[in-house]
Amino acid sequence: MFWWHRQVGDNLWVGFTNTSAGNLALHVGDDPQAVLRRRAELESVMGVQAGSLRFMNQVHSAVIAEPGTAGTAPTADGLISVDGSAPLAVMVADCVPVLLAGIRPDGNPVTAAVHAGRRGLLDNILPAAVERIEAAGGAGIRAWIGPCVCGECYEVPAAMQSEAAALLPSTAATTRSGTPALDLPAGAEAQLAGLGVAVERIAGCTLENEQLFSHRRDPSTGRLAGVVWQRP
């Protein structure tokens, strides 16, 4: 079910699923009922109420939204729960999933789940998420960067590499064969660290490891989820 998961605070958990959890996305042509059944199985393993896990309609933006009601998904690439009460999910299959948490003065967490694709990362979705967490009173922010395509595998045109490196130098990379590439998790880590966020990177290249979904390996693939939650 999980590639990696851990309790990171008083009743606060973070984790990233793998292919054993199955595809968790409704937008990739999968049977919707099968997807909903897998989401329910994930909720059961997480120990949260059925139907409480919140997803979003991801469009490679830099928009951070609060979760919608059950059965709705806001169009955004980041979700924030200002009191940590809503279990949050971000789905990826090569892009960078980032989970964040800060603690409010009352002891409750402020949590966020962010989809940091190339465009969103360069458009500063992670600083936007940190700003929202701080505005909600969250301090001592920590972040977990999940499995994604690594810098040695994410080959891009030279012009795209140059554009990204001009905005975020730490993204510049080369593939094993020496062609231009982008290291998005390195860029995400550098950006967060520069904001004073304590970052933990979870090992795993989606393209290299068949226990993880990769759009580059298979365009018709499913999506894994990064999740942050508290148990009732």
Mind listing the pLDDT tens digit for each residue in 24-61? Answer: 999 999 999 999 999 999 999 999 999 999 999 999 99
Report yes or no: 97 and 148 within 8 Å, Cβ to Cβ.
Answer: yes
Q: What distance in Å separates the CA atoms of residue 87 and residue 13, rounded to the nearest whole number?
A: 10
* CATH 3.60.140.10 for domain 2-151+205-230: yes
Report yes or no: 147 and 90 within 8 Å, Cβ to Cβ.
Answer: no
User: Which are the contacts of 96, defined by CB distance < 8 A and separation ≥ 6?
Assistant: 115, 116, 117, 121, 145, 146, 148, 184, 185, 188
H/E segment holding residue 101: strand 96-103
Mean pLDDT of 98-124: 97
Closest CA to 147 of 10, 8, 15, 11: 15
Q: What distance in Å separates the CA atoms of residue 203 and residue 197, rounded to the nearest whole number?
A: 19
pLDDT at 98 (0 to 100): 98
Label residue 69 by pLDDT band (50, 70, 90). Answer: confident
Mind listing the pLDDT tens digit for each residue in 174-231? Answer: 999 999 999 999 999 999 999 999 999 999 999 999 999 999 999 999 999 999 999 9
Q: What distance in Å separates the CA atoms of residue 93 and residue 105, rounded to the nearest whole number?
A: 36
Q: What distance in Å separates the CA atoms of residue 104 and residue 83, rounded to the nearest whole number?
A: 8
Looking at the predicted structure, is the pLDDT value of residue 16 above 90? yes
Backbone angles phi, psi at 205, to 5 degrees: -95, 125
Closest CA to 207 of 146, 161, 150: 150
pTM score > 0.85 for this model?
yes
Mind listing the pLDDT tens digit for each residue in 132-178? Answer: 999 999 999 999 999 999 999 999 999 999 999 999 999 999 999 99
Mind listing the pLDDT tens digit for each residue in 70-102? Answer: 778 999 999 999 999 999 999 999 999 999 999
Report yes or no: 18 and 211 within 8 Å, Cβ to Cβ.
Answer: yes
Q: Where are the domains of the chain?
A: 2-151+205-230
